[in-house]
Each structure stands twice: as C-alpha cells, then as structure tokens.
Structure 1
C-alpha cells in the first residue's frame, strides 16, 4: 500500500516504514513527536486505487519526527560585468526527517 501526500508545496509517494525529508514542520519540535498529514491525494492498495478530488476524504498518513536539520548550503552569486558589482550570499533550508508509521483510510 502506498499514498501520495502533499506537504510544503511538494508531493511525496510514501509507504509504511519510509523515511523522507520534507520542509520543516511547525507542528513537530522534538524527535518522536507525532505528525499527521491530512492532504492525501492518492491511495493505492494492490488493485484498489483511490484518487482524491482534490483530497481523499477520511484518509491520513501518520508519521513521527526523526530529526530537524539544515540542508547543505547553497551559494548564490550575483555579478554584473563592467561595473564591479558582485554580491555573494548563501542559504541553508531547514528540513525535517519523518518516518511513516501508518496509512489510515
């Protein structure tokens, strides 16, 4: 059984026991906290496929927070030729690693 969920403006295909990195979750602060994803777009179980319009009603994915961390640094460099304009800065996205506990219909 697998599901497609939407969180942080992205879609993820998940099944029970998966560990995935998503955008930082405001609802979970410490490792071990429970997280519920309500925006389930699709559920598939062997031959049964349920597609939501836009979401599958009554379906949810329960997960637990493994850790909060920062992604690798992305360096951004602006440059304009002939005018000595240079700007350099970086960004580290905050992410959360979650483990999918179960998919509930």
Structure 2
C-alpha cells in the first residue's frame, strides 16, 4: 500500500517503512507526526481525492533534523565587474513512515 501526501509545497509518494526528507517541520526527534493532506491511496485499488481523500492520514516518526548540501548561487554580469557568490543550505526533517490509514 502506498500514499501520496502533500507537505511543504511538494508531493511525496510514500509506503510503510520508507524514510523521507521533507521541508523542516516544527517537531522534535522521536515525536509522531500525522499528515492529513493525503492526495491518493493505492494498493489493491487506487483512491484519488478531490482534493484530498476523506478520512485518510499518514503517521510518521520524526528521526532528526538536518541541513542539505550547499548550493552555490553565482551572479555575474560581463564587462561591469559585477559578480556575487552566495551559498544556501536547505533545512529538512527526516521521517520514517509508520502507518497509512485509509
């Protein structure tokens, strides 16, 4: 069984036991987090919500928080001597999917 959930402006296809990285959530390590925005639930047959599946939820355990790899942003304009270098590391929360409630 799998589900498609929406969080942080993105959509993730998850199954029980999966470990995923999502946009940072305000949860401590070891807590249980429940996703109510379930867009679809699949398995024997596919159930698609309009826009979400009524009564469906996905529960996950927060493993830890972290920051991703550094992305370099470099701006340059020729002939003017303008160049600017900037770096960014996106914060994430690592989750382990425990149960899909359809």
Tell me the TM-score normalized by structure 1: 0.94
Runs of 4+ aligned structure 1 residues displaced above 6 Å come to: none
Aligned match of 1:59: 56
CA deviation string 1:30-89 (max 9, x = no partner): 21111111100000122x211000000100000010110000000111101011001111
Q: 2 CA distance for matches of 1:21 and 1:41?
A: 18
In structure 1, stretches of 5+ residues that fail to align are: none
Q: 1 CA distance for matches of 2:73 and 2:47?
A: 42
Aligned match of 1:17: 17
Aligned-residue CA RMSD (Å): 0.7
Tell me the TM-score normalized by structure 2: 0.97
Q: What are the within-5 Å matches in structure 2 for residues 60-99 of structure 1? A: 60-99=57-96
- The number of equivalent residue pairs is 102
State the secondary structure of the residue aligned to 1:95: strand
Which of residues 34, 37, 46 in structure 2 aligns to 1:36?
Answer: 34
Q: 1 CA distance for matches of 2:15 and 2:69?
A: 26
